[in-house]
Amino acid sequence: MKGGKSKSDTRNAKLSVNKKPAKAGRKSGKAAKDPNKPKRPASAFFVFMEEFREQYKKDHPKNKSVAAVGKAGGEKWKSMSEAVSGLVLV
């Protein structure tokens, strides 16, 4: 088939997506991230979980499940009052 298109060529041409070139002068939706920007402080829950994980591992040395630790920590966090957890709401 000299000069003619095969069936596979026409299928590939139909499946290809024609992308429009980016317009000049427009900025992308996101700004570039600054690698030197300091991280935000951890929330009260994450500080609580750090301490809770250590205590839970001491109390349950055979339990290797991350999900079990997370569930137990979440349940304890929900049952705590603001006075007990040491939170100060501003």
pLDDT in tens, 6-25: 666 556 566 666 666 655 55
CA dihedral 40→46→47→49, nearest 10 degrees, is -160
Is pTM beyond 0.75 here? no
- Supply 45's token pair: 């829950």
Task: Answer yes or no: is pLDDT of 67 > 70.
Answer: yes
Angstrom distance (rounded) from CA 88 to CA 83: 8
Contacts of residue 86, defined as CB under 8 A and 6 or more positions apart, other chains included, come to: 44
pLDDT at residue 73 in the model: 95
Break the chain into its structural domains and give their ranges: 41-54+65-89
Beta strands in 1-90 (DSSP E): none
List the helix and strand counts (H, then E) for the chain. 4, 0
pLDDT in tens, 20-53: 665 555 566 788 888 899 999 999 999 999 999 9
